[in-house]
């Protein structure tokens, strides 16, 4: 069945829904659903997403969405489609730019506005998390001391592991539940679920409708979708190859210990052809 709505995990789709001037009410509602009530945002201003270093040779940072609220607090919102090396280091590095840009010339008392780095992840980073955390959807990270007390409360990293969000429509209890359900399943919808009737999220459906894109937007979206699918294909293939290599290693050990070919096939799920190299 042909998709009716854009894929929000593509660069184009994510920025179409949350990164345009007309999308500010949607982005504010999403951030307010994510942040504690005392940090409610009443207004947002989009800022330049390209952040330059202090010299020409410095590495720059390019955010998906960078904005500031009416209190001067900074928000970086990033869509992360796949795992990468030094993922944590990358987000920490990105957070230094909105910190450094607050520096004032001359006499300055170093009072900083809060910075929030929000990552929407289309994967699980279970290798970064302790065992009890691996099924969590939301990971909130702050600077703490050796006693677990918050040392500095103006720098916050929030990661949303979308594959861990498994709630069905009937179990959506919170505002954030609705947004996560929307993001995860948008491309699969053929109509707006009744739970979003008379809801601001219904406006996100309107922005995401493929039939409302102009010709240039359609072309940009198709290119973005191809990049997303190619990346997913490479990652899926690498994962499958890794699983196969692991099974072959197990089979080799079993074979060395005199286990019969039939039992190895049953234990690993490998075929006789796959085991022929042993």
What pLDDT digit, counting tens, does each position of 121-156 carry?
998 876 555 555 678 999 999 999 999 999 999 999
Query: Number of folded domains in the chain?
Result: 2
Q: Note the pLDDT of residue 62.
A: 83
Same domain membership, residue 102 and residue 86: yes
- 115 in the same domain as 17: yes
Reading the block at residue 231, the tokens are: 């990346």
**Do 112 and 22 belong to one domain?**
yes
Report d(CA 125, CA 136) in Å as an integer.
11
| Domain stop point among 212, 246, 268 | 212
Asked whether residue 1 is assigned to any structural domain, the reply reads no
How many other C-beta atoms are found inside a 10 Å radius of the C-beta of residue 120?
Answer: 23
Q: Which two tokens stand for residue 224?
A: 């973005």
Extract long-range pairs of 166-172: CB within 8 Å, 24+ residues apart: 169/193, 169/195
**Residue 111 within any structural domain of the chain:** yes
- DSSP 8-state class, residue 59: P
Q: Which residues, given as ranges, of the chain have pLDDT below 70?
A: 52-60, 126-133, 234-244, 246-248, 250, 254, 257-259, 262-267, 269, 274, 277-278
> Do residues 131 and 143 both lie within one domain?
yes
Instruction: Provide the CA 152 distance to its chain's centre, in angstroms.
Output: 24
- 189: tokens are 């919808």
| Shared-domain flag, residues 62 and 170 | yes
**What three-state secondary structure class fits 51?**
strand
Q: Smallest Cα–Cα separation from 221: which of 14, 1, 2?
A: 14
Q: What is the pLDDT of residue 57?
A: 47
239-275 pLDDT, tens digit per residue, is 656 666 766 676 777 677 666 776 666 657 677 776 7
Which residues have C-beta within 8 Å of that of residue 252, sequence separation ≥ 6? 278
Please report the pLDDT score of residue 221 as a whole number.
94
Give the per-residue pLDDT at 54.
58
Same domain? For 257 and 171 the reply is no
Residue 6 lies in a domain: no
Q: Are residues 221 and 192 part of one domain?
A: no
E runs forming strands in 15-100 = 44-46, 50-51, 61-62, 65-69, 74-80
Q: pTM value?
A: 0.80
Q: Is 114 part of any domain?
A: yes
Residues 105 and 158 in one domain: yes
Residue 4: inside a domain: no
Instruction: Let me know whether 158 and 260 are in one domain.
Output: no
Same domain for 166 and 234 = no
Where a domain ends, among 191, 212, 233?
Answer: 212
- Cα–Cα distance for residue pair 163/136, rounded to 1 Å: 10
Question: Phi/psi of residue 26, each to 5°?
Answer: -70, -45
**Separation of alpha carbons 209 and 6, rounded Å:** 6
With 0-12 CB in 10 A as exposed, 13-18 as middle and 19+ as buried, what is 40? exposed
Quick one: 226 and 181 in the same domain?
Answer: no
Same domain, 95 and 142: yes
What are 50's strand-pairing partners? 62
In a domain, 3, yes or no: no
Q: Which of 160, 192, 212 is the last residue of a domain?
A: 212
Q: In which domain, by residue range, is 198 found?
A: 11-212
């Amino acid at each position: 069945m042909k998709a009716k709505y854009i894929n929000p995990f593509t660069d184009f789709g994510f920025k179409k829904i949350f990164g345009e001037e007309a999308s500010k009410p949607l982005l504010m509602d999403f951030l307010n659903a994510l942040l504690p009530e005392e940090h409610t945002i009443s207004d947002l201003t989009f800022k330049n997403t390209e952040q330059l270093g202090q010299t020409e040779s410095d590495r720059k940072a390019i955010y998906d969405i960078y904005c500031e609220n009416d209190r001067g607090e900074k928000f970086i919102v990033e869509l992360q489609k796949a795992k990468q090396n030094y993922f944590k280091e990358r987000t920490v590095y990105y957070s230094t730019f909105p910190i450094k840009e607050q520096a004032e010339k001359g006499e300055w008392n170093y009072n900083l506005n809060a910075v929030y780095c929000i990552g929407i992840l289309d994967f699980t980073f279970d290798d970064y998390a302790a065992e009890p955390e691996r099924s969590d959807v939301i990971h909130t990270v702050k600077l703490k001391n050796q006693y677990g007390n918050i040392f500095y409360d103006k720098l916050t990293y929030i990661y949303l592991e979308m594959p861990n969000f498994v709630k069905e429509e009937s179990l959506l209890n919170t505002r954030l539940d609705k947004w996560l359900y929307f993001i995860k399943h948008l491309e699969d919808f053929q109509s707006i679920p009744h739970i979003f009737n008379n809801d601001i999220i219904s406006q996100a459906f309107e922005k995401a409708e493929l039939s409302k894109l102009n010709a240039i937007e359609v072309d940009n979206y198709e290119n973005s979708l191809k990049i997303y699918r190619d990346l997913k294909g490479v990652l899926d293939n690498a994962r499958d190859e890794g699983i196969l290599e692991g099974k072959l290693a197990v089979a080799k050990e079993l074979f060395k210990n005199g286990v019969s070919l039939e039992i190895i096939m049953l234990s690993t799920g490998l075929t006789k052809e796959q085991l022929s190299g042993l």
